[in-house]
Structure 1
């Protein structure tokens, strides 16, 4: 880590083991990000609603331009939902957001690079299934949330993470309050290193990792039979089973940059005279300054961009153990 003499190593192309406590055959795959690119960008200013924001639509405009110019995401492979558009299909309503999430991951193949960006209000709701340490699920608020309700992290995980094959990259950026675990990814990295990782040995002991891999393959039959066996064996463990059937590890390459820990709010900032989400701005600024960074370098660069201006501490979370010294590709 001395200076920038050489670019960090690219992601390895062979299957990677989950490591400590995971069953031998349980592997994940980094994406080379050389395949198809698709992006879903959602920016909500909540015009003339209480709690109107100013920067969210700008975030999405800036991000889409950046993805297009620097990462080869074509306009026709982007869906942009903002509440300043006339077309009702382009409004960030709950129905449109959920439909677009399904579109984003549909037919994804290994080494594809999918990008999800949300800038808007985020919040917390009482966790109903016991999978959150703090007892709250993270949620995002569609423009019509007062009628249609919010979207919970469990549902975003189910739609956008669970179906992905090994080697598909999904990059997610949440520029919203309480967004630290908005996709429920189990390996959380701060600039100091790993904050949290799942207890795979325990999950394997409960037979849960087998359930996950059949879930990922859409093999509901085998999932139910294993699952039912588990339930008969230990009805008392039923709630744990229900909770962990969505154990959040994944063989895909899912990473998320979030503007804040779950306990923090994210700033609607004024930067260079333009309203913008601090996290979106810092992510783009840091990469523009040096496109050849490792994950941990990029995390530090993002933090440096925010340092002194905002109290929020950006986090990087992943669906698998991450070698943070590898080159960040997208």
Structure 2
């Protein structure tokens, strides 16, 4: 993550993809509306600990300068606000609204005038599933699979269409015996019209 953000310049387009285990833990600095910090769990998390959303935000979100853009694709449990971006998009059919996640007493979680956007596998209180439906044999995250399918199948997607296509596809990728409810999320450093803004990495 440090390498990705290092020497970032106007005009740069950064992509961060994580597919793996995620968790959450008690929020000790009181900057989360739900009282939990979301985390990702790298291979050494049992000895070195997880990477919490505060650290991810400080490393790849806040350094983004004007004219730079970051897309994060996070396929893990409890990943809804794992970049701690200020706004989360809540969508229902063709209607949506941006929820303000900022807490007045907490530190600033936006960029340095750049744009950060995150697609995550599920909301902060949901788990995410794996599937072999996309590849036929190899197991991948259902969110990653639905993201790839949508981008391949529909050129010139808007952010809203991509989000709804992923949400529509995930149930068909789930194993028949699963009871996981998984709703992909979009969060951003600033609000915009998700049904007119074209998705471009």
- TM > 0.5: yes
- Aligned partners of 2:78 and 2:57: how far apart in 1? 16
Task: Mark the CA change 1:321 to 1:195 in structure 2 (over 3 Å): closer, same or farther.
Answer: closer
Match in the other structure for 2:51: 151
- Aligned partners of 2:3 and 2:89: how far apart in 1? 29
- 2:190 pairs with 1:326: no
Structure 2 portions without partners, runs of 5+: 175-180
- Number of equivalent positions: 188
Match in the other structure for 2:177: none
Kindly state the Cα deviation for residue 112 of structure 1 after the two structures are TM-superposed. Answer: 1.0
- 2:154 pairs with 1:293: no
Match in the other structure for 2:186: 316
Return the index of the structure with the highest Cα Rg.
Answer: 1
In the TM superposition, what whole-angstrom CA distance separates every residue of 1:166-207 from its partner, at most 9, and x where no partner exists?
Answer: 2211110111100000000121113331251256xx95xxxx
Match in the other structure for 1:249: 110
- Aligned partners of 1:136 and 1:198: how far apart in 2? 13
Whether the 8 Å CA contact 2:89–2:186 is kept in 1: the answer is yes
As a proportion of its length, which structure holds more helix?
1
Runs (4+) of structure 1 moved beyond 6 Å? none
Matches for 1:40-51 after TM superposition, within 5 Å: none
Match in the other structure for 1:196: 99
SS of 2:132's partner is strand
Matches for 1:1-330 after TM superposition, within 5 Å: 101-192=1-92, 193-198=96-101, 203=104, 240=105, 243=106, 245=107, 247-250=108-111, 251-271=113-133, 272-310=136-174, 311-324=181-194, 325-330=196-201
CA-based RMSD: 1.6
Match in the other structure for 1:85: none
Whether the 8 Å CA contact 1:185–1:317 is kept in 2: the answer is yes
TM-score (norm 1): 0.54
Kindly state the Cα deviation for residue 309 of structure 1 after the two structures are TM-superposed. Answer: 4.5
SS of 1:305's partner is helix
TM-score (norm 2): 0.88
Kindly state the Cα deviation for residue 322 of structure 1 after the two structures are TM-superposed. Answer: 2.1
- Aligned partners of 1:183 and 1:279: how far apart in 2? 17
